[in-house]
Amino acid sequence: MRSLKTILIGNVIYIIILLIVFGVGTFYPNFYTLGKIEHNIEARYIKEAKNIGLYEPEFIFENRIQFLDKLETCINFLNFSLHKSERIPKEIIMAQAVLESNYGTSRFAVEGNNLFGIRTWNLKEKHMKPFNSKDSTFGVKSFETKCKCVKYYMQILNNHKAFFDFRRKRALMITTNRIDSLELVNYLSKFATDVDYVKKVKATILKLRNERIQNTN
């Protein structure tokens, strides 16, 4: 028969274990809990967005105009859940998507729903390899939908350390109620290895502006 001292020690250890489990669960929720919370928030957000006419588009398109229309619908849908301080100027997103995916017709866009050529070095996750770099240490990330790719792109600009100056400049612009997309693009040079990338994005923004004017006339 166990002594009272042994029983007390056992109970104390049990209580300590419970406290540790509770603490870890409270401050460092497990992936199941985090996933469930995220799912519930996303479901509620989607419901509220639909109530005001916003939805995630299926991205079925036959021409450039339809692609831009679906992309804009996606951006509006995603912006609904973001504070204005986290929103990326729409024409920057659209210009980069057009430039990187050729209006959604590139191989990565068609087969992997990747509109921005976003890479991954975690080759365990779903990805594609460039035809000329099959032995590379990176892949081009695949997404469930094109709109989820846009969401991931927004998260990169809003969180990655490489775009700290972009966020700082955007915050300054917000305080003056003047968002200049062409100026903000200057802080996206690290998005690609092309030394002329900023120039190309700016040129695409101007091109899309002109096309929009022509389509409205």
- Domain residue limits, the chain: 1-53, 64-216
pLDDT tens per residue across span 75-105: 998 988 888 899 999 999 999 999 999 999 9
Beta bridge pairs of residue 119: 140
Token reading at 168: 């700082």
Token reading at 27: 């401050």
Nearest to 118 by CA among 94, 91, 89, 151: 151
Of the chain, the end-to-end C-alpha distance in Å amounts to: 93
Mean pLDDT to the nearest integer, 189-211: 95
pLDDT at 21: 45
Could you tell me if 107 and 120 are in contact, meaning their C-beta atoms sit under 8 angstroms apart?
A: no
CA distances 191 to 7, 16, 68, 89, 163, Å, are 62, 48, 21, 16, 9
pLDDT at 55: 62
Q: Give the pLDDT band of residue 24 (cuts 50, 70, 90).
A: very low
pLDDT at 138: 86
- For domain 64-216, give the fold: Lysozyme (1.10.530)
Integer Cα distance of 148 and 75 in angstroms:
10
**With b meaning 16 or more CB within 10 Å and e meaning fewer, what string describes 57-74?**
bebebeeeeebbebbebb
Q: Give the pLDDT band of residue 217 (cuts 50, 70, 90).
A: low
- Exposed, middle or buried by CB within 10 Å (0-12, 13-18, 19+), for 15? exposed
Mean pLDDT to the nearest integer, 41-45: 52
Nearest to 205 by CA among 92, 88, 89: 92
How large a percentage of the chain has pLDDT more than 90? 57
